[in-house]
């Protein structure tokens, strides 16, 4: 017996049946190799294999091929591998645990009576959805292809863009219960080798029972950070992944997830969209710079509004102040509480519209935006100005193309509202200083989060808040600056 596999066909089938718990979709097809008078069995799990491929390229060749008598079992296995079974990949299995893992991975096993080695052929056929438009980063111009939940499809979409022999892909399974395939992709002659080694080392130490989505891997790779700012970029666009790889970044694909992780990531990346490169710069307004400015303004509008009405009303124009005062006389709650509750309500509406069915979510959004807003004003529970401020804030925050940065904005806004309610402008200034110090201390795998602005990397400013010409950005190498090693970042 070899690691639980014996030379008895019945014994091997019985062991694998017990491991799989006599599952109803576990199929065992017993056949006879008539030319050599040996019993054999073909094992697979129905629903995750290509049944036609098993019938045509495994079972039929075994039944029809005239196998000669060999002196050794090794010669028989070599003939079956090289000539009889017509599969793109055949491996030998000599451990019962590996055999059961191959079964649940969509492989087909061949067991021959009298031989304690199992042949595993690749007949996987998972049910997946077709390639569709990206949902996370939509664009008005450019490729309209997004990732799906199939790992092989996602890798091929990037390969189609990067026809480069230097592209490397390393795939390994993680999660003791899920055995999820995770692939690391990079360009060998561009990637930062130290960051690559760090990612591989952290993945090797990964101790999770399940890996179901990209966030599972992200939490492990950025475990040293307690920040609410994302240190890895999430995207569902193949063109974005290809562009980041060309800048020396590393892409991590997770089977079952349409989102790919990019490392390292800096703050300015979360304000970039593919349209920045696909639409010519002919107008006076730089879209990326405007996007950054509007997001920055959105963070401060609620806090400044609360600070003005609570501590610094004398700084407002007289007519504007009279309008605010007339509204406050009818509302029993302080301005800070009104704005905070409205922000929470907006977050709740956004969450509910994302979770409900599409036709119901539209109804909820209309009801919440129009009926509820009008009702709370008529019932004098909040000031009209407070509702306007919160609505403008929500609209301005939505200009950022990456969803994770929108959730970060909600936290910052509530913190600045607290600072404005407690100390007015001084509280906002204090919170801003703390936020700036926090951003300055953040590192994504050793790369400063505020790069290329702090520290200033003049070479990379060409593609930051303001873009230069397409030729300069495309034909010049981008090199992010590490002030310290990854190990020093972890220790800090």
pLDDT one-digit tens code per residue, 60-74: 999 888 888 887 888
Angstrom distance (rounded) from CA 463 to CA 131: 30
Nearest to 271, CA basis, from 380, 402, 157 = 402
- DSSP notation for 430-446: HHHHHHHHHHHH-EETT
Mutual angle of helices 403-423 and 335-355, in 10-degree steps: 170
Dihedral sign of CA atoms 469, 472, 473, 475 in order: positive
Give Cα 433 distance to the centre of its chain.
Answer: 31
Question: Which comes out higher in pLDDT, residue 472 or 428?
Answer: 428
d(Cα 217, Cα 182) in Å, to the nearest integer?
9
Asked if residue 195 lies in contact with residue 265, where contact means CB atoms within 8 angstroms, the answer is no
Measured CA distances, 347 to 6, 234, 390, 394 (Å): 60, 21, 11, 9
Tokens of 385: 């100005």
The more confidently predicted of residues 308 and 463 is: 308
- Kindly report the number of other CB atoms within 10 A of residue 464's CB atom: 21
- Backbone CA torsion sign across 287, 293, 299, 302: negative
Looking at residues 160-182, what average pLDDT do you find? Answer: 89
- The pLDDT assigned to 89 comes to 87
* pLDDT band at 492; cut points 50, 70, 90: very low
Least confident piece of the model among 306-310, 324-328, 413-417: 324-328
Given a cut of 90, is residue 185 above it in pLDDT? yes
Helix (H) or strand (E) holding 235: strand 233-235
Distances (CA, A) of 241 to 84, 292, 435, 470: 41, 22, 29, 18
C-alpha span between 333 and 331 (Å, rounded): 6
Task: Give φ, ψ of 405 to 5 degrees.
Answer: -75, -20
CA-wise closest residue to 227 among 394, 480, 435, 431: 435
Share of the chain above pLDDT 70, in %: 90
Determine which helix (DSSP H) or strand (DSSP E) holds 165, and give its type and residue range.
Answer: none
Per-residue confidence at 8, pLDDT binned at 50, 70, 90?
A: confident
Q: Which of 97-101, 439-443, 446-450, 462-466 has the lowest mean pLDDT?
A: 462-466
Which pLDDT value is given to residue 347? 83
Give 481's pLDDT tier (boundaries 50, 70, 90): low
pLDDT tens figures, 346-403: 888 877 777 777 666 677 777 767 777 777 777 888 888 888 899 899 999 988 888 8
Position 304 scores a pLDDT of: 93
Q: Is the Cα torsion angle 19, 24, 25, 26 positive or negative in sign?
A: positive
pLDDT of amino acid 468: 66
Of the listed ranges 8-22, 330-344, 416-430, 463-477, the one predicted with least confidence: 463-477
């Amino acid at each position: 017996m070899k690691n639980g596999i014996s030379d008895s066909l019945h014994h091997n089938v019985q062991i694998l049946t017990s491991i799989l718990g006599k599952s109803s979709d576990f199929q065992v097809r017993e056949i006879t190799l008539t030319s050599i008078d040996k019993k054999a069995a073909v094992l697979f799990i129905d629903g995750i294999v290509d049944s036609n491929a098993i019938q045509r390229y495994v079972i039929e060749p075994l039944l029809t091929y005239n196998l000669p008598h060999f002196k050794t079992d090794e010669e028989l296995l070599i003939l079956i591998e090289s000539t009889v079974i017509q599969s793109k990949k055949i491996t030998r299995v000599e451990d019962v645990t590996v055999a059961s893992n191959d079964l649940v991975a969509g492989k087909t096993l061949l067991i021959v009576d009298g031989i304690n080695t199992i042949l595993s052929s690749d007949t996987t056929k998972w049910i997946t959805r077709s390639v569709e438009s990206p949902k996370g980063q939509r664009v008005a111009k450019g490729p309209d292809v997004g990732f799906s939940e199939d790992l092989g499809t996602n890798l091929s979409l990037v390969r189609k863009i990067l026809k480069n022999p230097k592209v490397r892909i390393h795939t390994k399974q993680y999660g003791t219960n899920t055995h999820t395939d995770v692939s690391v992709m990079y360009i060998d002659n561009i990637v930062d080798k130290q960051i690559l080694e760090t990612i591989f080392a952290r993945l090797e130490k990964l101790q999770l029972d399940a890996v179901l989505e990209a966030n599972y891997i992200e939490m492990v790779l950025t475990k040293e950070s307690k920040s609410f700012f994302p240190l890895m970029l999430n995207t569902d666009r193949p063109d974005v992944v290809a562009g980041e790889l060309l800048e020396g970044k590393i892409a991590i694909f997770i089977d079952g997830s349409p989102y790919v992780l990019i490392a390292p990531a800096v703050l300015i990346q979360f304000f970039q969209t593919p349209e920045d490169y696909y639409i010519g710069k002919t107008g006076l307004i730089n879209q990326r710079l405007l996007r950054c400015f509007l997001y920055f303004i959105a963070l401060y509008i609620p806090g400044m509004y609360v600070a003005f009405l609570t501590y610094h009303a004398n700084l407002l124009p007289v007519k504007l102040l009279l309008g605010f005062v007339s509204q406050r006389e009818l509302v029993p709650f302080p301005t800070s509480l009104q704005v905070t509750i409205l922000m929470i309500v907006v977050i709740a509406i956004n969450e509910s519209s994302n979770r409900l069915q599409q036709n119901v979510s539209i109804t909820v959004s209309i009801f919440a935006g129009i009926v509820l807003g009008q009702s709370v004003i008529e019932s004098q529970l909040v000031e009209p100005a407070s509702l306007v401020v919160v609505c403008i804030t929500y609209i301005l925050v939505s200009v950022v193309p990456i969803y994770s940065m929108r959730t970060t904005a909600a936290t910052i806004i509530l913190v600045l509202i607290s600072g404005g309610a407690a100390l007015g402008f001084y509280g906002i200034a204090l919170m801003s200083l703390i936020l700036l110090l926090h951003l300055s201390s953040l590192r994504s795998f050793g790369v400063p989060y505020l790069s290329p602005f702090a520290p200033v990397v003049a070479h990379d400013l060409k593609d930051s808040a303001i873009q230069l010409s397409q030729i300069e950005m495309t034909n010049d190498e981008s090199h992010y600056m590490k002030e310290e090693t990854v190990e020093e970042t972890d220790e800090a």
